[in-house]
Structures are given as C-alpha cells and as structure tokens.
C-alpha cells in the first residue's frame, strides 16, 4: 500500500525523480567521476551516493515490485574495446562484477526471481580461446558465488542453472551441481542462470516432453494446454514482469521468447552491461510501476477471454461426443 502522500502516481513519480538526482553526485548514470577528485572528496561522494541509493530503494519499495526480472547482459566485448582492456575475458570479468551488483539491487528492492542470459548455445561458435575463458569463469564463479557471496550466505539466494547443460564441459557441470546443491534450501531470491540456453530449443524441448507424456499415459491429449506446456519449460518462476537488454541493441537474441510474450515490459538500455547502473535500474522500475496497473488489467482481460474460450471448447467437445455416441447407437 502507498502512504497517503503517494496516492497520486504523479506525486510518486515526481518524488522518485528527485531521489534519482543522486546521480549528480556520482557522475552521469552513476559511472566514473566526471572530474578528477581528491580521495577525500571521492569518499564523501561515494558515501552520499550510497545513502541516496538506499533512500531511492525505500521510495521505490512503496510502489508495486516486479516478481521476475530478466537480463540480457550484452556488451561485455564491446566494453573491453571501449575501456582499452587487453583481453575479451577482462570485459567478461567486469560483466560478472556488474552482475553481483545488480543482484544486490534486486535483492534490496525485493525482487524474488532474476533470470540472466549468461551463455547462448550459439556462443559456442566464438573463438576457442574466448569460449574456454567463459567456461573457466563459469566453473570458478559459480562455485565462488555459492561459497562466498553475501547474497547467498546472508540473504539466502538460491542458484539454479537452466539450459542444455549436457553441452558443457564436465568440470563446469560439477560446479553447477555444487552451487545448486549448496543453495537448494535457501528461501531468498532465486537466480536462474541460463547457460547454455536458447528460447526456441526450450520451447521445442517442452513440446517433446508433452508428446512423450501423452505417449506414456501421463497426460491426456485433451488436457494439453498453455499451462501444461509452461510446466515443462526450463525457466521456472512466476510470469516475467520485466526484460532488460543492455548495449543499445534492440532484439531478443532468442532469450525467454515464450515468457516475454505474456505482457512482459521490455526495456532496451543504451549502455554496455558493465556500465549498467542503479540509475538505469531505478528508471526502468519507475517506468514499469507507472504501467503496472494497465498491464495487470490487460492480463486479467486476457485470462477471462482464455477461460471463456476454454469453456466454449469444452462444450463443443461434449456436444461432439454426444453426437458421435448417438450415431453409434443407431
């Protein structure tokens, strides 16, 4: 519920916009300091920025909070060139550091499910050196995240890796199993790491499972519906509320296509993933909050329509069955 002074969406948006002025302290979009500052000034600015961020989180939590947010973490390699780093793996390391920060923001905001596109199946087509570096980072960082992360140890984040893990090296699969086993009892935020993943393959695999279950007598053909297919998708959790893609590219890149089609709020950010800031996150959340009532209204209307259509289909099925039986009687 909103406090009385935030009942107006315009007042809420205006107050949040003022809170987001913290970026003036930290530079454009919360990135590097725009001017050379002494260490003492940097410390003061960092402290003030942190306090303003906590205040912004408090204000944002007065509004509706999305339950499931997805991130296409794009732009690590281009960030490497922009920042004049020596190897592509440096950009990927910067991307992992940003992921830990984003997860902290999501946890502070009360978001319960986060899905990240860590590695696409077609990424295996990249150079052997880059793929090897990414596999090594996945092996080491998953284990480190499960063992040493404050998010896991203090806030109880649960790690799940979804995708076609049979394509991964054995040592990476071992780290996945370790991270999942160590965090399976945690009740905090759920992190779905999609690696290696493809939305079209996810849907195809779900369809194959539906067919197999029908053939094995576990599911009646007449009971096949949207919910049964969703139960067999790889990415668990509630409906996707927000999908964010960084790097300025406007495409889905075969990520969570089924989930995105269910009224997900799509946001494209013109910044490389390592440059993604709390300002971007808060701006997206405010925009979603302002649109959330209309989204829920449309979802409800769609659910009512689907229910009526299912009832009509059921009546037609019964009617056809009665006619068929009558024909056999004669």
- Is the pLDDT score of 235 beyond 60? yes
Residue 325 has pLDDT above 50, yes or no: no
Secondary structure in 3-state letters for the chain: CCCHHHCCHHHHHHHHHHHHHHHHHHCHHHCCCCCCCCHHHHHHHHHHHHHHHHHHHHHHCCCCCCCEEEEECCCHHHHHHHCCCCCHHHHHHHHHHHHHHHHHHHHHHCCCEEEEECCEHHHHHCCHHHHHHHHHHHHHHHHHHHHHCHHHHCCCCEEEEECCHHHCCHHHHHHHHHHHHHHCCCCCCEEEEECCECHHHHHHHHHHHHHHHHHCCCCCHHHCCHHHHHCCCCCCCCCCCEEEECCCCCCCCCCCHHHHCCCCEEEECCCCHHHCCHHHHHHHHHHHHHHHHHHHHHHHHHHHHHHHHHHHHHHHHHHHHHHHHHHHHC
| pLDDT for res 211 | 96
- Mean of pLDDT values over 248-258: 96
Question: Among 12-26, 162-176, 297-311, where is mean pLDDT lowest?
Answer: 12-26
The stretch 112-141 carries a mean pLDDT of: 95
Residues 135-161: what's their mean pLDDT? Answer: 95
pTM for the full predicted model:
0.83
pLDDT value at 94 more than 60: yes
271-282 pLDDT, tens per residue?
A: 999 999 999 999
Q: Does the structure show a pLDDT above 60 at 249? A: yes
């Amino acid at each position: 519920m909103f406090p009385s002074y935030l009942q107006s969406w315009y007042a809420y948006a205006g107050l949040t916009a003022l809170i987001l002025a913290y970026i003036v302290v930290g530079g454009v979009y919360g990135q590097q300091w725009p001017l050379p500052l002494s260490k003492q000034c940097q410390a003061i600015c960092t402290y003030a920025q942190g306090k303003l961020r906590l205040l912004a989180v408090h204000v944002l939590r007065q509004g509706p909070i999305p339950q499931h947010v997805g991130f296409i973490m794009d732009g690590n390699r281009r960030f490497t060139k922009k920042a004049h780093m020596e190897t592509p793996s440096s950009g990927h390391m910067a991307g992992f550091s940003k992921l830990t920060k984003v997860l902290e923001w999501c946890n502070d905001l009360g978001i319960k499910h986060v899905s990240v596109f860590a590695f696409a199946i077609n990424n295996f087509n990249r150079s052997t050196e880059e793929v090897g570096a990414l596999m090594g980072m996945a092996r080491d960082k998953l284990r480190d995240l499960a063992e040493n992360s404050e998010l896991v140890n203090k806030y109880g984040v649960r790690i799940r890796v979804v995708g076609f893990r049979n394509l991964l090296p054995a040592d990476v699969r071992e780290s996945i199993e370790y991270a999942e086993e160590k965090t399976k009892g945690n009740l905090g935020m759920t992190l779905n790491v999609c690696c290696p993943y493809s939305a079209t393959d996810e849907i195809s695999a779900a369809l194959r499972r539906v067919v197999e279950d029908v053939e094995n007598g576990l599911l009646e053909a007449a009971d096949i519906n949207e919910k049964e297919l969703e139960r067999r998708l790889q990415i668990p959790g509630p409906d996707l509320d927000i999908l964010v893609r960084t790097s300025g590219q406007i495409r889905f890149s075969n990520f969570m296509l089924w989930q995105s089609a269910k009224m997900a709020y799509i946001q494209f950010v013109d910044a490389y993933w390592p440059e993604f800031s709390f300002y971007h996150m808060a701006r997206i959340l405010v925009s979603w909050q302002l649109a959330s009532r209309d989204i829920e209204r449309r979802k409800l209307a769609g659910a009512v329509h689907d229910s009526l259509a299912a009832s009509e289909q059921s009546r037609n099925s019964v009617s056809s069955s009665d006619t068929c039986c009558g024909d056999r009687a004669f």
